[in-house]
Amino acid sequence: MKIFGHKPTPSAWFGLTVIAFFAVVALLTPWLAPYPESANVGATWDEPSAAMWLGADQIGRDMLTRVMYGTRMTISVALAITTLSFTIGIVIGFTSAVAGGWVDVFFTRWVDVMLSIPGLIFALIILGVFGSSIPVLILTIAVLDSTRVFRLARALGMNLSVMEYVEAARLRGEGLWWIIRREILPNAWAPLISEFGLRFCFNFLFIAGLSFLGLGIQPPYADLGGMVRENADAINFGMMAPIYPAATISLLTVAVNLVVDWMLSIDARPSGAQAEL
């Protein structure tokens, strides 16, 4: 079986399988979870049993249910952030590259200012002032992350905007958005898709980190980073409660990176004509 015209490597197959598994779990969590998200069904840090396969958390909620809902929430928020950041970054980056002049100078200097501020500190300030609601969380991290996407999109746009087919489109009188949509974007998909996977991993870990600090996704919603923080004391008693969400974060991050590495290797391969040379 081929994907994107290339046969995946064994590591890529592993990554794709893990991603597909988590995607199915995230979509079907309300039907697959054995208990309601916030239901107390046992005692603090109960051991795994037939009724609770992974045991209970710090207030007696089913750990398997919490991990499933936490995975669903963290993946959904990370995907929303990455999609929004790419929309902002690609639009502004390609516009700067194709328009040039003062438009390029304005957006580039604005991004330079944003990048000069440490992302974590900036996020902590904004979330501390406006609260950690999910819309604020998504918008804050997406704006921060869009600066990285902007730099990649601008670099790709600068390389593609001098190609002959783009010059021909300009000579035909095509507008800025037509050139971006029909000439630039289709020829920049491969590196952008790879970058999307990398930025998703970063945002996934960033959300988990903020939640671990208490400024990410707030209760009563389950969140993987928050679950690690809430159950951290269980380690002192030799219990596995914080290991389950931490392992979920690690496994999904590794899986996405394996797929991204495979896609980058495809993008780096020479074409058939180039290989023959």
At 255, the pLDDT band (50, 70, 90 cuts) reads very high
pLDDT at 132: 78
pLDDT at 30: 92
pLDDT value at 81 more than 90: yes
pLDDT at 149: 93
pLDDT at 25: 92
pLDDT at 267: 61
- For residue 116, the SS3 value is coil
* Burial profile 49-77: b = 16 or more Cβ within 10 angstroms, e = fewer: eeebebbbbbebbbbbbbbbbbbbbbbeb
pLDDT at 272: 41
68: which strand partners? none
Least Cα distance to 154 among 192, 197, 193 occurs for 192
Of 72-76, 101-105, 132-136, the range with the highest mean pLDDT is: 72-76
pLDDT at 274: 37
- For residue 214, the SS3 value is coil
Global confidence as pTM = 0.88
Identify the CATH number of the domain defined by range 10-38+56-267.
1.10.3720.10
pLDDT at 174: 78
Of 2-11, 22-31, 264-273, the range with the highest mean pLDDT is: 22-31
The residue written with tokens 């300030």 in the block is: 125
Least Cα distance to 235 among 61, 70, 58, 48 occurs for 58
